[in-house]
Amino acid sequence: GARGMSAFTRDEMMTIAAARMLWDGCVCFVGIGLPSAACNLARLTHAPDLVLIYESGTIGTRPTVLPLSIGDGELAETAACVVPLPEIFSYYLQGGRVDVGFLSAAQIDRYGNLNSTVIGPYGKPSTRLPGSGGAPEIAAHAKQTFVVMKASPRAFVRALDFRTSAGYLTGHGERSCGSARGGGPKAVVTDFGILKPLPASDELALAGLFPETSIEQARAAVGWPLALFDSIETIAPPAAGELETLRALHARTGAAHRRTVALPGERTP
């Protein structure tokens, strides 16, 4: 049935909380999926001049619907410019011009390292994931990275099956000793709240909780003993405008993608 504007799902709260972390004029390198929804919501609400870059070479893209992939024509059609993929990495990302890399993954560990390669042993994996794409470079070179992932003990793990993208490595300042110029994962937005790295250890700890979630629920969703910040922020629920804009974006996206994929016996317009 129809939900009132006061009611919202955890997925909606997660996307809105992630969107709020972006600022107007921010240059953001976007992953497909949850990051894409959060970044486009930010652009449609409080950050109209957010500069979105996708790995396919689209800069300043302003899609009206969420892209199916980085190769979605919607991204190129609405971009300020499209440049060759090597230029995105060399001149923009490695050149230090990307403020935020927005990533997701299949697995994350307590130091913000990400796995998007395989589940199980590399030689005989139980699941082969989409692979690294540009994530290792984004994680290395963006001034800071934000991660948005639904939390479960299968996803938030004690040990990754494969380390695709570096967060804080083994913590305690190890990342800062290496050659990666970016600042690493400054926030992980889950469907219960927000994790941030503790200053001394770099370990991800609970920094903020969503409405109607508890520390117990947060701990149950994470596969390592979850540390807590001294004071845990209570994150404001979605505003009506945020929810309306997000739902309209998803509705437009669903309608557009239904049009482009014909079912058997159906003609596309």
DSSP 3-state assignment of 252? helix
- Tens digits of per-residue pLDDT, 176-202? 999 899 999 999 999 999 999 999 999
Reported confidence tier of residue 258, pLDDT bands at 50, 70, 90: confident
Q: What pLDDT shows up at residue 263?
A: 54
Task: Give the residue from 111, 224, 235 showing the smallest Cα distance to 175.
Answer: 111
pLDDT average, residue stretch 49-54: 97
Reported confidence tier of residue 7, pLDDT bands at 50, 70, 90: very high
The chain-wide mean pLDDT, for the chain, equals: 93
Asked if 150 and 191 count as a contact pair (C-beta separation under 8 A), the reply is yes
Query: Is pLDDT of 2 > 50?
Result: no
- Tens digits of per-residue pLDDT, 118-171? 999 999 999 999 999 999 999 999 999 999 999 999 999 999 999 999 999 999
E strand or H helix at 163: none
> Quick check: is 77 catalytic?
no
Task: Give the residue from 196, 177, 178, 194 showing the smallest Cα distance to 186.
Answer: 196
Q: What pLDDT shows up at residue 31?
A: 86
Q: What pLDDT shows up at residue 1?
A: 35
DSSP 3-state assignment of 240? helix
Longest dimension (CA), the chain: 61
User: Of the residues 55, 74, 137, 203, which is catalytic?
Assistant: 55
pTM, to two decimals: 0.93
